[in-house]
Chains A and B, each alone.
Chain A
Amino acid sequence: MAEVEQGCELFSAGHRACGGCGPALAARLLLKATGKNAILVASTGCMEVFSTPYPETAWGVPWIHSLFENAAAVASGIEASLKKQGRSEKVLCVCGDGATFDIGVLCISGAFERGHDITYICYDNEAYMNTGIQRSGATPYGASTTTSPAGSCSLGNLHPKKDMPGILAAHGAPYVATASIAYPNDFVQKVERAINTPGPCYIQVHTPCCTGWGFESGETLSMAKLAIETGLWVNYEMVDGRVEKAKKVRRKPVEEYLAKQKRFRHLFKPARRDDVIANIQAVADANAERFGIDIKKKESSE
């Protein structure tokens, strides 16, 4: 437990994230949305490690980390405790995709089923980055990671990305949203809406990882934007289980996004894998169909 030096930012500079870190930007934006009256619960992972090497901390709000997989359960206890004490702080979990999609599902499911008044933020960088880029349930189809490496007889990760927002909407969550650090105002507004919505809310924010995905550190925001422009990431809101709003785009081919990242390099070299690229294009097409994101002729972007 250490005291933080207060600056104008609630998420202080001087933390140990890589240059160009997407999750670090998400943390900074998150605290702009919550303000000081929040308690954050972290899972073990990149953000926890780069922000709190004892005795230093980057967090200007109360922050607690217990284990990898129990943030939602810890948050349940905090929320119950605050309720009993008549306190007003908002309780938020801030966890990576491994903690959220994989090892923490039991605790998250329990917390959402019980209806605790918490907001769960998943910063999704699409693999276990803290331990060296191993695949998670959030890793997209076709990506090479250290535990789903591309090889002479493998195309990398063969499984589609798990639909966590859908799973949590199915728990009856009143507000579920996806966001991207490429659209900071949208993310901040979604967090504000979530923390002011009673009950368990979920936001999955796309946070590209230059180290894990293999692109230049100055390209983080453009990579996040390309994910949206290709339809491989969709920013949408679900209210009481129904999709209410999805960001529309004039879609670009997925190849523009894939070709810029080392995790997809095996799809282009040594031989071009049109079949796999087509499969990934089909994922984007299905997203476009499901969320209705394609801008038709004479229609302007939302």
Chain B
Amino acid sequence: MLEFMEGSHAVAEIVKRCRPQVIAAYPITPQTHIVEDLAQMVANCEIDAEYITVESEFSALSACLGASAAGSRVYSATTSQGLALMFEVCFNAAGMRQPIVMTIANRSLGAPLSIWNDQQDSISLRDSGWLQFYAEDNQEAADLHMIAYRVCEDHDILLPAFVCFDGFILSHTYEPVALPSQEEVDAYLPAFTPYQRLDAANPLSFGMYATPEYYTEFRYEIDRALYRAKDAFARAGREFGEQFGRDYSALVEGYRLEDADTALVAMGSICGTAKDAIDEMREHGRKVGLLKIRTYRPFPAPEIVDALKGVSTVAVLDKNISLGNGGAVGTEVKSALYGSGAAVYDYIIALGGRDVRKRDIAAVVDLAEKGKGDMFYGLRTEVL
């Protein structure tokens, strides 16, 4: 049954059904509605969790790390400056192999201060060892949380994950969402069984330091686990489809790519706008398609190469900028497609909440087909 609800509420409802035992979060726009909803659920005894009202995002993730190490399923949510404050803990949590699931209501990073959406925050943590999944709409945002817990807690993976959905554009938007029942979620997501935990009956030391003889191998193991997460995600996504009818087995998803000459590549809610724009362009005989990246980490390079076979022009929509070197997604797509013969162009777009309309998508396609790219799109030169 579809229910009409705010994206943040859909996420909170699904997190509740995932039965986290410890929640630690700090309020920050535009993540607040999620953690407020969860706090109310705890206050109403709708959810049997300890809710730690920490004094900072840094402590939120630190508390999640401790609770996870002690053997509990944990949850947090943040965005933007909050995620930046967690930077040190993010690397640490991945290195300590704690299966923490955290929602990112994507938002830009200051300066200048901006509360509005882009994907600079989570993308800036791309090297941290966290899995990163991006949702196109609120249904996908909700569903990806269940999949994230399945993948993270898999004893062959044991990594934390960001479930990313665009701040305001999704978090504060009402859409119809199908929420599975508690019984259905329980059937999909079993209770957390920690691989190892802090336990007086079996005293182990967690978080020891490594000399040069061991450090590289630790990092290698984390890297391997990220690559293994591709199969784990595909399996969890396929089983999700079998149970709920929405298949998420694909790390990348093509839209009208079959005979496309030009392909857009994007992540998150901008994919919805791009699909509508593509439908209109197709009506005018333009052979345009879209490749949506669902898992930014692990980065699906071979899957992108495979999906874009036969495409001559690729336009990457980057809602971030690696200052001094263009968009992060564009850089990685270019790397993946090296030697393929396709012309790949990168467009910095929709930073700090600037709206993207169908005609903007069409304009990007026009630019790419003219061989113009690797640029900021829609720059207001009059205010420079």
- Residues of A at under 8 Å CB distance from B? 1-4, 36-39, 41-42, 48-49, 52-55, 57, 59-67, 69-70, 73-78, 80-85, 89, 106-107, 109-111, 113-114
Contacts and interface: CB of A to CB of B under 8 A. Distances in A.
B49 A84 contact: yes
B310 interface: no
Contact of B198 (A4, A64, A83): A64
Given A74-B62, A75-B66, A80-B67, A63 B54 contact: no
B205 A4 contact: yes
A81 B205 contact: no
Interface string B34-77: 00000000000000111011111011001111111111101000
A62 B65 CA distance: 15
Given A76-B66, A77-B65, A1 B59 contact: no
B207 interface: yes
A73 B207 contact: no
A302 B288 CA distance: 87
Interface stretch (B161-169, B175-183, B209-217, B291-299): B209-217
B50 A83 contact: yes
B69 A67 contact: no
A236 to B, nearest CB: 28
Interface string B68-107: 1111101000000000000011001000100000000000
B150 to A, nearest CB: 21
Nearest to B54: A110
Contact of A82 (B70, B74, B202): B70
B208 interface: yes
Contacts of A81: 21-22, 50, 66-68, 70-72, 74
Contact of A77 (B55, B70, B208, B210): B70
B62 A66 contact: yes
A78 B56 contact: no
CB-CB nearest 3 A-B residue pairs = A77-B66, A110-B55, A77-B63
Contact of B66 (A52, A61, A64): A64
A84 B66 contact: no
B22 A73 contact: no
Given A37-B200, A54-B210, A85 B205 contact: no
Nearest to A76: B63
B66 A106 contact: no
